[in-house]
Amino acid sequence: MSSAAEIFRDGQWLHLLDGSNQTVGYGVYQAEGVVAIRWLGESLPDTSALQRRLRKALGRREKLAAETEAVRLVNGESDGLPGVVLDRYGPVGVVQTYSSAVDDLGRYLGCLARRWLDLKTLLWKPPRRRAGRGQPDRVLFGSPVAKVRFREGPLQLWADLGAGQKSGTFLDLRGLRREMLSRDLTGRRVLNLFCYTGSLGLACQRAGAALVVNVDSSAAALEFARQHHGGQVQSWVRQDLLAGPWSEVPPGPYDLILADPPPMTGRSDQLERVLAGYRKLYRRCREVLAPGGELVACCCTSRVRVESLRSLLDAVLVPLRFKGRLAPESDHRPGFPEADYLKILRYG
Ligand SMILES: C[S@@+](CC[C@H](N)C(=O)[O-])C[C@H]1O[C@@H](n2cnc3c(N)ncnc32)[C@H](O)[C@@H]1O
């Protein structure tokens, strides 16, 4: 019997039928990866339908423009535009495609949005599947831009568009930055674990923190952070936080710890290993947290369910108690349960 990969081409749009030959909907096929068919909808979307979906997605974000110049304009399946993410940093658009099957769709939507919004530059980050097989980033319009400055509330932030992670910044953490900015952190000592380019640390500094220790394993991220998000109270530490002792991390104690580890898995069969890693991480956090201190635990994979994370943290962080979960940002609104990947949980 032939496999699906022998019958279909990557990127082929499929008419999906049930066992009684009734139309279920339409999808786009990809041989590699965990998602074989990305959902296009119950009816076949033509260009006008795609344009309508894009307009709707842009319309939903209009209010955010008052707060920030950096917005996720298209959030993949949650906006009915599968596998395509489009972020805006002021005059620069960055389109990302999460499967080569939707490369054409991503470029089409990116170019359309660029024209409608009069963006000066459009970059495309193709899927990075395995080392050596991903295509390099491409400039689809305008001149190459390696980094861009943008306003977010009272913060002036920089996104590393060239070598950075995601589209350049973790836009989904905007709510946590806003939360930190709303606090009075005067005199507080903050440990910002998995800091990437240090934008959360900068928000804490602005809220009055006396000390912000930013830790990450990536030398490039730390260097970018130091250059663009530095300040008198900030320090930068390179450390693998998931293996071996935290030999480089000053022992504290800290009044506030922000921990935002990488997903560590996209596969459900690795869940136990990931949870064991979290247990170890949060035990360490507990050791360096000052009495009466607060811990914010982020988890950015939908493979770890919020209930599992809650029960792990409830047990490891005793006597700290769960204080609440931050809602997703409006431009990252999950359109279906599996898209609700980001958990930001407060313990104090
Ligand atoms: C989800 S991102 C953090 C985003 C960050 N909180 C922010 O405000 O932009 C995860 C970060 O963990 C870092 N990282 C990955 N593995 C690590 C490890 N073993 N030890 C320390 N940092 C690690 C990555 O370099 C990345 O910057």
From atom 12 of ligand 1, which residue's Cα is the shortest distance away? 194
Q: In whole angstroms, give the CA distance from residue 304 to residue 263.
A: 9
Q: What is the pLDDT of residue 263?
A: 86
Is the pLDDT at 268 greater than 70? The verdict is no
Confidence category of residue 189, pLDDT binned at 50, 70, 90? very high
**Poorest-pLDDT segment among 84-93, 283-292, 295-304:** 295-304
- pLDDT cut 90: percent of the chain above it: 80
pLDDT tens digits for 235-244?
Answer: 999 999 999 8
237 lines ligand 1 (CB under 6 A): no
Distance 301 CA to ligand 1 centre (A): 13
Distance 260 CA to ligand 1 centre (A): 7
Check: CB of residue 157 under 8 Å from CB of residue 150.
yes
From atom 10 of ligand 1, which residue's Cα is the shortest distance away? 262
221 lines ligand 1 (CB under 6 A): yes
Confidence category of residue 77, pLDDT binned at 50, 70, 90? very high
300 lines ligand 1 (CB under 6 A): yes
Which ligand 1 atom is the nearest neighbour of the CA of 170? 9
Average pLDDT, the chain: 93
Distance 261 CA to ligand 1 centre (A): 5
262 lines ligand 1 (CB under 6 A): yes
CATH superfamily of 47-148: RNA methyltransferase domain (HRMD) like (3.30.750.80)
3-state secondary structure of 97: strand
State phi, psi for 254 to the nearest 5 degrees: -115, 145
pTM score of the predicted model: 0.92
Q: In whole angstroms, give the CA distance from residue 222 to residue 224.
A: 5
Distance 241 CA to ligand 1 centre (A): 9
Residues 6+ apart with CB under 8 A from 48: none
The length of the chain is 348
Which ligand 1 atom is the nearest neighbour of the CA of 216? 22
Q: Work out the end-to-end distance of the chain between its first and last CA atoms, rounded to an integer number of angstroms.
A: 57
Spans of all domains in the chain: 4-41, 47-148, 170-347
Mutate to test the pocket of ligand 1, among 166, 170, 194 (most ligand atoms within 8 A of CB): 194
CATH superfamily of 170-347: Vaccinia Virus protein VP39 (3.40.50.150)
pLDDT tens digits for 307-336?
Answer: 999 999 999 999 999 999 999 999 999 988
Q: In whole angstroms, give the CA distance from residue 265 to residue 269.
A: 9
Q: What's the rounded mean pLDDT across residues 266-279?
A: 82
Check: CB of residue 67 under 8 Å from CB of residue 153.
yes
Distance 149 CA to ligand 1 centre (A): 21
Is the pLDDT at 294 greater than 90? The verdict is yes
The pair of three-digit structure tokens given for residue 112, joined into one six-digit string: 């359309």
Tell me which amino acid residue 255 is.
D
